[in-house]
Each structure stands twice: as C-alpha cells, then as structure tokens.
Amino acid sequence: MRELLRMATAGSVDDGKSTLIGRLLLDTGSLPTDHLAAVDGPDGPDLAALSDGLRAEREQGITIDVAYRFFSTAARNYVLADTPGHVRYTRNMVTGASNAHLAMLLVDVRAGVLDQTRRHARIATLLGVPHLVAAVNKMDLVDFDRGAFDRVRTELQDVAERLGVPLLVVPVAAKHGDNVAVRSARTPWWDGPTLLEHLDAVDVPPPGEGGLRLPVQWVSRPVAGARRSYAGRLAAGTLRAGDEVVVLPSGAHTRVTALDALDEERETALAPLSVSVQLADDLDVGRGDVLTAPEDPPVVTRELRAQLCWMGEEPLHPGQRLLLKHTTRTVRAEVTALHDRLDPATLADVTSPDRLELNDIGTVTVRTAVDLVVDAYTRNRDTGAFVLVDEHTHATVAAGVVREAVPRAGAGRPADGPEGTGSAPRWTPSRAARAHRGAAVWLVGAPPEALREAEAALLAAGRPAYAVDPGNVRAGLAEDLGDGPAERAELARRTGHVARLLADAGLVALVAAGSAAEARTAARPAGEAGLTAVVVTGAGGAPGVADVLAALALAEEA
C-alpha cells in the first residue's frame, strides 16, 4: 500500500495558492489531457483555473470553498485541500486542515506576513497539524532578490517561534515553477530542498496508532436468533475477533466475537477502516457509545476545557447553549466561561474576553448534558474534536479541540493537560439521626396514579413519602435534555439521584421505571451508599400499594 500524505494550503488572498496547486498538478503529471487543454492560453496554461472549480471563484479570482485535489509522486500519494485565504472564509480553512498531516502557508514576498497568515498558522497548530512549510511566492516579481526573501523568512520564523513549531521556508515562483518541483537556476543562493522534495520527505504517522477507539455509529438489529452488530469507523488502534473491549460510558467489559469489513479476508482492522463487530454479551450499546481497549481508556466527562474557532455571525457569550457534535453523538451543551482570545497581530492571548466574534480563536469551558467519551486532541484528533451547532438554525458555529477534561468519578482516565489529573468527587450520604428511615423505591411499569396512591398510603401510615415525577425533574433539573436515547438515560440518572437525596433525608422516594433492568441500574448507587433501595415489580401486572408496603417491610427486616 502506497503511503498517503494529507495536506492543506493556507494564506491570504492573492498569495497564489491556486497557481501553486496548479503547478504541483502539472509538474507531477496529475492532470488529464482534456483538463489541461481547457485552460490553455496564449501565455501557457492558466494554472489557477485548474483548481478554482466554482464559477464564483473564477469570476472573483478567489477561493471560496474547500476543494480537494489528488496527485502522486514516485514516493507517495497526496490529497491536497485547497482552502480559502479570504478572512470571510476562515471557517473553511478549519475544515481543510482538520485531518491534514501538513499545512503549507503561502506568502506573497511583496506583502510579507499578514494577520491572516498568522491566523492560519495558529489554526494549523490548534488543529494539531504536525508539519508546517511556508512557500514565499512570486519571487519573480522581485527579481529573485535574496534580501526580500530573507526579510519575509525572518517574519515567518518569528511566527513559528511564537507558536513553538518548526518551519521550513522555501522561495518559489509558482507561475514559472521555480523551486516547486524543479530547482531554479535563478536562486543560486538557495541550498535547501525544493517544495516537492520536502513534501516527499515528511514523516507520515502509520495508520492504527494509539489505543482502540471505535465510536458506534449504527446498531444493526437482525432477524430473530441472530446477534446484534455494532458498526462504526475506527478512530484509532486495531481490532480483531477475540479482543477484550470496554464499552464507554457504561464501563461494561466484553469481548469481540466477530468482525466484518469490506475486505472479507481481513482478520485485523486498523484505523481508519469502517467495521462492524459482534460482542459476546448482550449489552445496551447504542449510537455514540465507544468501544475502547481496557488498558488504555479515554475520559468519560461532562466538562471540557477547549479551544474554539468561532464561525458564527453572531458573537459567542458566556452561558450560551448550543448543540455539541462529538464523534457519533450529539448532545446539548453550555459554554460556561470564556478564558482567553487570540490576538492575530501579536499571537498573544487576551484574557477574560466578554465575547468571541467571527473568526476569533479562544479558550472556553463547555459543560454537556450527558456523558462524552473524549481524549485530549493531542492524543486523538477524532475523539478530541467537536463542533458546536446552533440548535435553532442548525448552522455550525464553532470548531473545537479538547485540551483538558474533568473525568467522571470512577470512569476513564484524566485527559492530557496541565490540569487534567484528579477525579470528580463522589456523592456521599449525609444522613444523621432522623425520626424516620428513608428508602428509594422504583415501581416497574407503574402509572403515575399508582405512585400517588402509594404515596398517600405511606403518609396515612405515618411514613413521610414523596412521589418523584420525572416530568417535574425534566422541567427543572433536566430542562437542558432532549429526547434522544442518551438524554433519556441521563433523565433517569438525575431522577434516581433526586430519589437518593430524598431517601437520605428520611423520606420514602417513589419513582416509576420502565423496566426491571432500568430500575436495578438506577437503584444500585443508592444501595452502594447504604440506603434502602427497593425494586417493586408486582405480581402479574403493575405494582400497587400492597406490593410497595410488602417490599418495604421485607427490605427493612433484612
């Protein structure tokens, strides 16, 4: 299999990105003959027209949308994302660089380094692009003057030092091909590689690196008698039948019994292949859950410290609520704090901003309504990235990368980062000597009136009781939740926590449950905390008052 390098271009308007891309396609013999003939002119081919595919791009002479081009050399294959330089379309540069191995910055030697150049360089490092190279273009317009090149190279190296990344700077004239694929006789003072020589020499990380990460995208529900299959694209690691895995966020351990990929002969799958797996145990696994290796788990969290590139027309303010899309899960989230904002002129951070405007880059804290399974972005670019979506317009308004995550107690491990250690505190009972002994009771399949009848009977018997209505919980503690499977599970968890607190205060908390499995899951934390936790199923139907009183009596005798 030939090695593949993914790269993205970046730079300001009129720096010559489209021309340079056309030159790379032409000099590597990657253009169809009819395509080349279509842009041929009296002064040779219009190289920029080879990559500007939209009519508006050709009319305005700028790149608007991300366009992907493909070319090959003797060393490797390339996928090149041609991203816009105009500040209005900075968001598209984020898209193009999101999975790149290398970012190529273009700078017009006459204009030097601009704010947009600095912004694009920062976005590339923000997105974890491991390699940067800069092409100082249009050297022919300054007669290949070394002094002009050195001035721009000094500016670029200053940017690289501020960002803490290595950077090679190459003098080129894309229109004529100088130092692009062929060394130029007009720059005898340049002893470095041509641009293409450098691209061929860049190290590309092998596929499948890192611990196993398989976000579940689809659950196949087969005919009766067959086992369910769980499909998704491997975000990291390798997987084969027989491997032990952990399902997060639930933490259930199981084993892969079968693995299917497009290649029927394949026994081992490695990232980024799409696969379908079957598990040894009949677990509750749904879209958004993640299969991971037991020895290398990610973080299960609801609080992220992240860096955002804000793409919304309206500014971002603290307290704003949005939808957060992460791998295959979409959840409700709130941006609770803005910590800093990047000044593109100085690459310094402005602390405690009151907003983020269009194209601003800043550090924020995000809280989610339900659990996410994340890594720090420096560890995994798939599980460490997310986008924010306006829940009213459904427009994508930000791209974010995880810097730190606060893990839920007992789940996963801390994300990499200066403050990414420690664990969240567990809930602990605070009951003291009380006049009544509390309990948390789940009634399986009981209608609301059954809870009210049981509550009235207990009150009449002198036992303080309270029927916990999930509708009341949703109207207050869970008003941020939607109706998806993960959010319904979160509603059940919050309702169960309310029941634990009431039981700790000496009341009998009565909660309806849809199934015995759901009730046992909700009751387990209360029992582990030393509270009386009872699951009432009833005899041949929904439980009634007699069932509740009998179950309570048995639990208290025990």
207-218 in b/e burial notation, b at 16+ Cβ within 10 A? ebebbbbbbbbe
Amino acid at 167: L
Answer whether 101's CB lies under 8 Å from 204's CB. yes
* Tokens (6 digits) for 379: 């560890």
Rounded-to-integer distance, Cα 132 and Cα 120, Å: 11
Rounded-to-integer distance, Cα 523 and Cα 497, Å: 9
Choose among 271, 114, 116: nearest CA to 208: 271
Measured in residues, the chain has a length of 558
Q: Identify the three-state secondary structure at position 257.
A: strand
Alpha helices by DSSP H, 164-212: 195-201
Rounded-to-integer distance, Cα 78 and Cα 72, Å: 6
Which bin fits 359, alpha (ψ -120 to 50), beta or left (φ > 0)?
left
515 is catalytic: yes
Sign of CA dihedral 488, 494, 499, 502: negative
For residue 347, with 0-12 CB atoms within 10 Å meaning exposed, 13-18 middle and 19 or more buried, which class applies?
A: middle
Answer whether 236's CB lies under 8 Å from 211's CB. yes
Among all residues, which ones are annotated catalytic?
Answer: 515
